[in-house]
Every structure is written in C-alpha cells, then in structure tokens.
C-alpha cells in the first residue's frame, strides 16, 4: 500500500488560491497589509500559530537573524498551547493538503516556512497509525 503524501506548502497571503492548495491557513499575527477582507482567500486565520510579538519584532525579517528566529520560534511551538494548535494542523495535513500563508515578501524566510518544516518533521517522526489487518483464525 502506498504511503500518503502529507503536503504542507507555503505561499504568500496575496497569492490567488490554486486547485491543489487544500486548506489555506494564514499564520501571521497581523492582518496582511493592503489585503481587503473581501480579497482574502483562506480558510482559517491561526494567530495561535504565529510567533510572539517580541520574537516577531526581534526578527524583523532580517536574513542574518533567521537561524536564531527559527530556533526561538520552534521553542515557542513546543509550548503547551502552541503544541495543541500544531497538532490540529498535523491532523488536518494527514487528511488533505495544507497551505500555510504569510504576508512576508520572502516566504522562504518566514514563520510559515519554519512552521511547515516543523510540521513535516513531526509527521515524519510519527506517521499516522495504520489500521490493523484483521487477524485470521487458525
């Protein structure tokens, strides 16, 4: 039996939806600048998955701080409240594609990229349980 692919993609919040996006989740704490609510194409806005205000301000989208930002953000994602939110997205990603959205100009160096990698690593370490085959009576 082929293993299901657990796709977690990232895109900018300003990008139009595509057929394979699956569930589109905005993971920014702040509403994307210049995006009208009528033009927002996402299914969920999960502020609880975004970095803390102090961490976001520390990073300031400065590439030289990305590694430290990643380390601190992943630590935040492991706290009890954030871990529960991450688990919800993991459960969703096991059933269908998920696209994490950010307003950042550099999506590859954003919280969405860190979160996507974090989720993929957790899924890889603990794949969803497979149903057991019925045992044959002998």
3 assigned to some structural domain? no
Residue 70 is part of which domain span? 8-125
Q: What is the pLDDT of residues 54-89, one digit of tens each?
A: 999 999 999 999 999 999 999 999 998 899 999 999
137 assigned to some structural domain? no
Say how many domains are in the chain: 1
Give the Cα separation of 73 and 44 in Å (integer): 20
97 assigned to some structural domain? yes
Is residue 115 predicted with pLDDT exceeding 90? Answer: yes
Give the Cα separation of 93 and 67 in Å (integer): 25
The pTM assigned to this predicted structure is 0.86
Q: By C-alpha distance, which of 128, 43, 121, 119 is closest to 83? A: 119
Q: What is the pLDDT of residues 93-108, one digit of tens each?
A: 999 999 999 999 999 9
């Amino acid at each position: 039996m082929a293993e299901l692919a657990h796709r977690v993609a990232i895109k900018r919040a300003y990008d139009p939806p595509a057929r394979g996006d699956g569930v589109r989740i905005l993971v920014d704490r702040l509403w994307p600048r210049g995006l009208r609510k009528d033009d927002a194409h996402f299914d969920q806005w999960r502020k609880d998955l975004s970095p803390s205000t102090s961490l976001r301000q520390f990073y300031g989208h400065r590439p030289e701080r990305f590694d430290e930002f990643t380390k601190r953000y992943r630590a935040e994602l492991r706290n009890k409240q954030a871990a529960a939110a991450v688990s919800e997205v993991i459960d969703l990603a096991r059933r269908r594609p998920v696209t994490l959205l950010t307003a950042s100009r550099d999506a590859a160096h954003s919280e969405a990229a860190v979160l996507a990698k974090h989720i993929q690593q957790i899924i890889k370490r603990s794949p969803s349980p497979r149903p057991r085959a019925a045992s044959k009576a002998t």
